[in-house]
A and B are shown apart, each in its own frame.
Chain A
Amino acid sequence: MWVVGVGYKHEHRDPAGENAKADILGLGPYDVKNVKTLQTYVIDGDLESGDAERIGRELLADGVVQYFKFSHFSEDGSHAAFAGASNAWIVEVFFKPGVMDPVGLSVASAISVLGVTSVKSVRTGTTYVIEGELSESEVKAICEKCLANGLIQTYAYRRI
């Protein structure tokens, strides 16, 4: 399993991140300095790293304004270091099993169009990198009230 993260280059705006920040501040006076987002794709299948590189470059990231990084998927979520931040909270939001993920389906079929046939499935999610002084209970509240809908999504958070 591989995971690919796609974010905005630092000189470009990250509208989803700005939007999330505004929503969080709308909840209450949280100490949130900055929020960055990474569109995150978990790719289930045997890939050569060259394939992963190609998928990121040709399919998932818009090279003009975005960067991408990829790594083997690990349960401890070390790939979140993609965000290049430190002293931040990392929140990952994914659909629950059984919930239809149409973007994931489209990406999977597009990967096979690229000629890479070893991919079984793709799940999509969002990684939020939240910089600021927040307690764990505050992060939890932010996840539940604004970043994830518990009915269809799961979330995990961690401090880096």
Chain B
Amino acid sequence: MDARHIELLGKSDGELLEISRSFMLALNLEEMQKVQDYFNRLERNPTDIELETFAQTWSEHCVHKTFRGNIEYNGQKINNLLKSYIIKATNDLRMPWCVHVFEDNAGIVTFDEKHNIAVKVETHNHPSALDPYGGAGTGSGGVFRDVMGVGAKPILSTDILFFAPPDYPHDKLPKGVLHPKRLMKGVVAGIRDYGNRMGIPTANGGFGFHEGYVGNPLVYAGCLGIMPKEKYVRDAKPGDKIVLAGGRTGRDGIHGVTFASLELSTDSEKTSSGAVQIGNAIEEKRVLDGQLKARDVRDVPLYSAITDCGGGGLSSAIGEMGKKTGARVWLDKVPLKYEGLEPWEIWISEAQERMLLAVPEANVAEVLEIFRDENTEANVIGEFTNDKKLTLMFNDKTIGELDMGFLHDGFPKAEKKAVLKISEKKDPDLADSKDFGMDLKTLLSSPTIASKEWVIRQYDHEVQAKTVIKPMQGLGGPGDACVLRPIYDDWKGVVVSNGYNPRFSSNPYNMALSAIDEAMRNNTCCGGRRIALLDNFSWGNPEKPDRLGALVEAVKACHDGSLAFRAPFISGKDSLYNEYSLGGAKETISIPYTLVITAVGIIPDVRKAVTMDLKMAGNPVYMAGETKDEMDGSHYYMIKHVEGGAVPGVDLAKAKESMDSLVHAMDMGLVRACHDCSEGGLAVAAAEMCFAGGLGMRLELENVQQKGIVKNYKLLFSESNSRFLVEVAKGKESEFENIMGSHASKIGEVTERNNLLVTGLDGRAIIDEDIDDLRKAWSKTFDW
């Protein structure tokens, strides 16, 4: 085994690109030229492992070229999208409870006096498209390790999935693509097996369905962990040993990271099997137990830094950890699954279930012993130095030597162009339907809205016994957020929710603002406050100016929303290049622009958390927020096969005030049930509250706060933001109204009768449906 030298000096631009292509480096010409310059200065050719190190470290996955690059947008120059907007909002807000944000594997905020919580959400789209079971499983395993990588213990898994509709016709399916139903079953099984086997509850999540995901499903895996405040360390020192713990290294996931920078095509299936792996949750559990013991056996952890091996494998993990010091790695000391791996393969393998620790020499024996006790392997594979160099050795021979500074800061800033294209379409302004009851049932059966009980019951959402508010509420209705009580002898809780609205893609600014609003209001529904946000973008190819323009708009909305809600972003991730080409066609299809916002709030006393099921007949029902003529991207227009009108926006000042008031009303014990109006609008929210509570509801549309609407269907089904349906305790009306001010009006009451009765603008009944029929419509779609 030895490293090969690759002829790079003196090569022409065309030859450089050919080298990048044939070694699957996914480096562009400018980047290849930078690498060539570097070796020109050293007056030697690189070895294969050195070239691979650049490819990994400079990959989209690791450095986020697009978010950190230069963008020219409608004449405006943006230098670093992330810093200029998202991180800027966080910095401006300066919340004292933000502990470590945007700098480690996961965002860290305080929980109580003794504990911090760590949160991370990742995408695992491309691997899941090829092998849904393995791809989703390793996605979960990877995000758990992100949280483990800051020294926290994972206590919640959250997964948000996007597919084409499950009844997509088989004969329309592009070649080389798995059917969405099969994808969904495989992904759910992958998440289930990994989370359940590791004993991490999957108690939150979501689904979105849209034809645009047919060639490119999206799998977002998130994790929340908890840790004692003083146990966070991140300071590898020269002389510390590099300890690799956990699974053995094989050829798994070679080029997984650079693969993520390329678009999928019908050939992906054949060329990318290295990118697909099947995870071993039991192994990861052993590593977790070992690292927690190494953390807690003394007052201070036995390690001085810890991180996970994720994308890019050892190359990224060690490169990052040793950035400030330097590191020497003995690749022959890495335990292998089987013989025959080249040194560069060992270096970039993305074999799962591995954690990397920097351990002071005096503690090494104890750390190795701890992992051995947990039945997993740990080995010293190198050491940190003070020469600011990355030195790679195999059998005492140096096979690579790179300057840490150049490796991490030498990559050329991407220069990209962006334009905004918004095509406004006139609202179709339909005539009011003759059968709103049927419309409502059709909406309840549509895949995004329909019951996900089939999925929820496969996930263990109770393990660890911390889950207070669960995914199914009352007799079975869709909860807005999940509430956990992380510390057994304290009532304080964490509230986790999410928001996404890819159907609003035609106006990316409003789409992003809507996602933030939805995540915030879902959190509010259960009583969450002091909310931290995470952003996760899945986008089309950023080389195409219209895709990038949409991204810029969405990022601006994140900035504006974050400031207005006083909810800082603490972590984020992007997955770009989610496009799919058919049978070698030039034109690629982008997925709908998908921003998933995860909101993490706290609640001082989980006993005051509110659920969405109706509680008692006779209680008044209020609606908070204003309904507007904003029907574009709505599920109602989707089932009516029309489009046009305005995409819902957010009145940020009002939204913030209304949500704060609502939480205050909950703390005062005035609110018996609360549910947000999102997909399917007011009518769907009301139906869900009814069948979840086993009670009826009477609503009067004429009392709904609204702006310029003359049609019943818009009041029933508009997806305007910042709206809630609230069941208030009888007799507490005036107290509630005092707190809510102009933000809420009474629109009906809970009834003993088993039906949802809605009267229209002219006072006549327009919906009168038995709640059992509504529940049936909602339950049948995923009765798999």
Contacts and interface: CB of A to CB of B under 8 A. Distances in A.
Q: What are the 8 closest A-B residue pairs judged by CB atoms, nearest first?
A: A102-B280, A100-B278, A152-B131, A151-B130, A151-B131, A151-B273, A149-B131, A106-B282
B179 A145 contact: yes
Given A22-B784, A151-B273, A98 B182 contact: no
Nearest to B171: A28
Nearest to A95: B278
B276 A102 contact: no
Given A23-B185, A28-B170, A100-B277, 13 more contacts: A23-B181, A98-B250, A98-B251, A99-B278, A100-B250, A101-B278, A146-B182, A149-B178, A150-B269, A152-B131, A152-B134, A152-B273, A152-B278
A68 B79 CA distance: 65
Interface string B179-190: 101100110000
A160 interface: no
A102 B282 contact: yes
Interface string A35-76: 000000000000000000000000000000000000000000
Contacts of B535: none
Contact of A27 (B131, B133, B170, B273): B170
Interface in A98-133: 98-102, 105-106
B170 A102 contact: no
B273 to A, nearest CB: 6
Contacts of A102: 278-283
B252 interface: yes
B300 to A, nearest CB: 34
A146 B252 CA distance: 25
Interface residues of A, number: 20
Nearest to B179: A145
Contacts of A152: 131, 134, 273, 276, 278
Contacts of B182: 23, 145-146
A26 interface: yes
A61 to B, nearest CB: 20
Interface in B237-279: 250-252, 269, 273, 276-279
For chain B, the bracket of interface size reads 20 to 34
A40 B280 CA distance: 19
Contacts of A146: 182
Interface of B: 130-131, 133-134, 170, 178-179, 181-182, 185-186, 250-252, 269, 273, 276-283, 352, 784
Contacts of A23: 181-182, 185
A20 B293 CA distance: 43
Contacts of B276: 151-152
A111 to B, nearest CB: 15
28 contacts: A22-B784, A23-B181, A95-B278, A98-B250, A98-B251, A99-B278, A100-B252, A100-B279, A100-B280, A100-B352, A102-B278, A102-B279, A102-B280, A102-B281, A102-B282, A102-B283, A105-B280, A106-B282, A145-B170, A145-B179, A146-B182, A149-B131, A149-B133, A150-B269, A151-B131, A151-B269, A152-B134, A152-B273
A26 B784 CA distance: 11
Contacts of A28: 170
Contacts of A98: 250-251
Nearest to B252: A100
B157 to A, nearest CB: 18
Nearest to A146: B182
A27 B269 CA distance: 21
A20 to B, nearest CB: 11
Contacts of B133: 149
Contacts of B283: 102
User: Which of A23, A28, A146, A152 is packed against the most chain B CB atoms within 10 Å?
Assistant: A152
Interface string A122-160: 000000000000000000000001100111100000000
Nearest to A100: B278
A72 B182 CA distance: 34
A28 B173 CA distance: 14
Nearest to A109: B375
A96 B280 CA distance: 17
Contacts of B784: 19, 22
Nearest to B173: A145
A93 to B, nearest CB: 12
A120 to B, nearest CB: 13
A145 B185 CA distance: 13
